[in-house]
Amino acid sequence: MAITTEMIKQLRQETGAGVLQCKKALEQTGGDMEQAAALLREQGMAVAAKKADRITTEGRVEAYVHSGNKLGTLVEVNCETDFVARTERFINLCHELAMQIAATNPQWVSREDIPEAVLEAERQLYRAQMAEENKPEPIMERIIEGKMAKFFQESCLLEQPWIRDENKTIRQLLTEAIAELGENIVIKRFVRFQIE
């Protein structure tokens, strides 16, 4: 199948990847748009993994105040250079993250940030809930792990589904931005304020 300019343009709009990357992905997948997008996402994750150890000393603090002025958030997002910190793509990412925090109220950035005492308390709570069910230990452990996965998804920003696309997590959104901007990006911290 011949790869047209329109196909490249459409894939570029969907993925944010460069023109050459889109053309190569379409050539590799025989013009299949969905497979090409998946291939670009995989490549983006590989790029993000390579950049994960790079130091992020620049960035932006983004504020979001919900209409009615009773809910607001601040999020610090770091990148490697002030050039990237000033790009529209980075600013939009920071704004999306601030809105996500306002909408979903996560407690931590990632599961690595959760204190061990909190994790143990959650496990004990789930174990107590199932105490009377007389399930074998291996089955109980699998159920607890499933409940812990749900806990992480609700309380860790990086594991939450993005409010604009439930099929994409915040970690995937961040990975796409890293691949597109070519720099490591780290969500450092956030705070959420709400008038009760």
Contact status, residue 188 vs residue 78, Cβ threshold 8 Å: yes
- CA angle, 75 then 153 then 64, to 5°: 25
Q: What pLDDT is attached to residue 7?
A: 81
133-170: pLDDT as tens digits: 878 888 888 888 999 999 999 999 999 999 999 999 99
Q: Within 13 A of 95's CA, how many CA atoms are on the CB side?
A: 8
Q: Where do the domains of the chain lie?
A: 5-51, 58-109+156-194, 115-154
> Tens digits of per-residue pLDDT, 46-88?
555 555 566 677 999 999 999 999 999 999 999 988 999 999 9
* Cβ contact 161:50 at 8 Å: no
pLDDT bracket for residue 15 (50, 70, 90): low
User: 34 vs 77, which has greater pLDDT?
Assistant: 77
What is the band of 44 on the pLDDT scale with cuts at 50, 70, 90? low
Give the Cα separation of 115 and 170 in Å (integer).
Answer: 21
Given the candidates 2.60.40.10, 1.10.8.10, 3.30.70.270, 3.40.50.300, the CATH classification of the domain at 5-51 is 1.10.8.10
Q: Is the pLDDT of residue 186 over 60?
A: yes
C-alpha to C-alpha distance for 144 and 130, rounded to whole angstroms? 9
Give the mean pLDDT of the chain.
87
d(C-alpha 128, C-alpha 120), whole Å? 12
- Percent of the chain whose pLDDT exceeds 90: 51
Q: How confident is the model at residue 102 (pLDDT cuts 50, 70, 90)?
A: very high
Q: What is the pLDDT of residue 51?
A: 55
Would you call 161 helix, strand, or coil by DSSP?
A: strand
Report the pLDDT averaged over residues 9-27.
75
Instruction: Read off the pLDDT band of 113 (50, 70, 90).
Output: very high
- Tokens 């002025």, located at residue: 69
Inter-residue long-range contacts of 37-44, CB under 8 Å, 24+ positions, other chains counted: 37/11, 40/11, 40/15, 41/15, 41/172, 41/176, 43/179, 44/17, 44/175, 44/176, 44/178, 44/179, 44/180
What is the CATH code for 58-109+156-194? 3.30.479.20
Same fold flag, 5-51 and 58-109+156-194:
no
Enumerate the H helices of 32-71 as residue ranges. Answer: 33-51
